[in-house]
Amino acid sequence: MDFTLENFIYVDKTVYIPQLVKLKRVFISRPRRFGKSLTLDTIATLFETGVEPYFKGTWIYDKWTEPTYPVLRLNFLNFDKNSLEKFNNKLNSKITEFAELNHVTTYKEKEEAEDSIDHLLEQLRLEGRQIVILIDEYDCQMTANINNETLYKQFQEKIKSFYANIKDKFAIKFLGITGVTRLKVVSIFSVGSDINDITNASAYSQMIGFTRDEIKKYYIDYLKLASSYGNNCSVDDVTDTQIESLLDRLAQNYDGYCFDEDYEKKVFSTWSVNKFFQTMIEKKKVQFGEYWYDNGGLPSILVNYLKTHELNIFEYLDKDKLLKVSDEDFKNPTSLTTINQNVLMCQTGYLTLRSSLTESSDVFLGIPNGELYKALNKLLATKFFKGNISVSNANGENILNVGSVEDIISLLNTMVNTVTYDAYPLNSESAVQNYVKAYLLGAKQNVFSEIHQAKGRADLMIETNKRRIVIEFKYAKDETEAKAKLSEAIEQIKTRDYGNIVPRKDELLRIAAVFNADPKVRAFTQYKFVQ
């Protein structure tokens, strides 16, 4: 596609390609919607046609020296995930179609696809010919079947056999493989593999994803327009300071992904940045939405994983918390059924590196940005509340906007009765606070916890169109203790003047609420509106 003629923006990443193809065999893992497929398409176009006519004006235009080669493209996302036979037949047909198009007359299709590719490469070798093979979403069939042990193992063995038959083959000029997960059990990562895993290689850590400088360079007109909407001024009057301020907000929401083993280089989510600007054009206003999650950010692997695995909700409710995993768990997971929870969350894009991979035996992970913090809470809400999230009453009115204190307490009690004690034990004040926060975030409310003020920190603050609701939580073992704790919460709200912060709201609703943890009660029984 001619991006210039079609009026598209093309962020030039071609500087990485010459060095990349010198590696001969490469694998890279990235979350969905980051640009893996476009990277493979770029490589394919260069090998198939050279730099004319698509690469005029790009970095690589006068530097690419490779001759053209036939390219066998295999996107496993388009292959069957529920039948090994259908998968094999589709893979076979692609190999055969390629052989016919490229006049490999001595090729004969075999029963098994791994044998067909082996035969094709041998015939090409005998003819002194080389090809390029690009495989996208290599792990798709396995991720779709993590809850089906039989199919999972069948696809695992099939894929292992396929890669075993392309290993060290002269006829392959270049091999590029992408996926979401990285599994040691698959032969491309085994000892003796000829594949270079560049997933966390510093040199390629910004090849997929946008840098701040790239956004500023390629999207400058969009940045100016967005700044004009955000500052209610004309495009011509937008200042550099306003543009930098917008970039800061973009970074807070969509930056922070680190794939660099040295923990130095970070990138923005490509999908989120593009959707932000597209939405801005359509709605003529600035809107920092959860674009990645709403458009593929909940991959099938996580959907399937959550069906049979419990997530530790505490792990993800503190946006600044660092999560520790061992170096071995991070680098060499063996199976999707036993993979460390936090490693899987990192591979799927919910967490990212927060430490170097070269300086310690421990690896630290964290939430990349504001968008992913909200996405995580949506994910948790999907799991714990079965998607049945609401803050409305029978008349469809938003309780947080118009309800009384009694209505809000009733809503809180509905929340805590949504799941069983075994699934989520409310055994501390922080557990209650985090649970309520996850529910409200899942319901797309503007919720903040541990809000810093001059005199202290409020447990929870909810911002609606008209109101600011501040809730100070306390935890009690029984009703006697609950009554005592209520007085403590009331005093805390008054002495620390929670909620009286700029900007002001039309209404400030401050509530002291005590959760009675008695197994026979498990509800907010003591509460009071605090003037």
Task: Give the model confidence (pLDDT) of 424-476 as tens digits.
Answer: 678 888 888 888 887 887 777 888 765 555 566 778 888 888 888 999 999 99
Residue ending a domain, among 372, 396, 417, is 372
Q: 468 with 462: CB under 8 angstroms?
A: yes
What pLDDT is attached to residue 177?
Answer: 94
| pTM assigned to the model | 0.83
What's the CATH number where 151 sits? 3.40.50
Distance CA 198, CA 110 (A): 33
Does residue 426 sit in the same domain as residue 399? yes
CA 343 vs CA 16, 208, 256, 333, 419: distances in Å: 27, 20, 17, 8, 26
Residue 207 inside a domain? The answer is no
Question: Which pLDDT does position 444 carry in this prediction?
Answer: 77
Model confidence at 255: pLDDT above 90 = yes
95 and 142 together in one domain: yes
Mean pLDDT within 339-343? 89
Note whether 361 and 390 are same-domain residues.
no
Q: Which of 333, 331, 335, 334 is nearest to 357 (CA)?
A: 331
Residue 173, by phi and psi: left (phi above 0), alpha (psi -120 to 50) or beta?
alpha
pLDDT category, 299, cuts 50, 70, 90? low
- CATH number of the domain enclosing 494: 3.40.1350
Domain boundary among 257, 289, 321: 289
Q: Considering the domain boundaries, does residue 449 fall inside one? A: yes
Residue 429 burial class via C-beta count within 10 angstroms: exposed 0-12, middle 13-18, buried 19 and up: middle
Give the model's confidence band at 233: pLDDT under 50 very low, under 70 low, under 90 confident, else very high: very high
Tell whether 197 and 217 lie within a shared domain: no
The pLDDT of residue 2 = 42
Query: Which pLDDT belongs to residue 3?
Result: 38
Question: How open is the CA angle 111-115-117, to the nearest 5 degrees?
Answer: 115
406 and 509 part of one domain: yes
Say whether both 112 and 31 belong to one domain. Answer: yes
- Structural domain for 322, as ranges: 310-372
Asked if residue 5 has pLDDT above 50, the reply is no
pLDDT, mean of residues 136-152: 90
| pLDDT score for 314 | 63
Residues 138 and 257 in one domain: no
Same domain, 231 and 328: no
Q: Does the pLDDT value for residue 129 go beyond 70?
A: yes
Quick check: 337 and 187 in contact, CB under 8 A?
no
* pLDDT above 80 (res 53): yes
Q: CB neighbours of 436 closer than 8 A, spacing ≥ 6?
A: 412, 415, 416, 460, 471, 473
**Are 192 and 56 members of one domain?**
yes
**243 and 325 co-located in one domain:** no
Assigned token pair, 138: 């290599």
Residues 117 and 218 in one domain: no
Of residues 437 and 527, the one with the higher pLDDT is 527
Total count of domains within the chain: 4
The reply to whether 299 falls in a domain is: no
Q: Are 426 and 412 in contact (CB under 8 A)?
A: no
Please indicate, yes or no, if residue 302 is contained in any of the structural domains.
no
Q: Is residue 53 part of a domain?
A: yes
Contacts of 47 (CB under 8 A, 6+ apart): 66, 68, 69, 71, 132, 173, 174
Same domain (yes/no): 400, 329:
no
Better-predicted residue by pLDDT, 454 or 272 = 272
Which domain-ending residue is among 228, 257, 289? 289
Residue 39, pLDDT score: 96
Residue 103's CB: how many other CB atoms inside 10 A?
Answer: 10
- Nearest Cα residue to 120 out of 174, 171, 161, 160: 171
Does 8 map to a domain? no
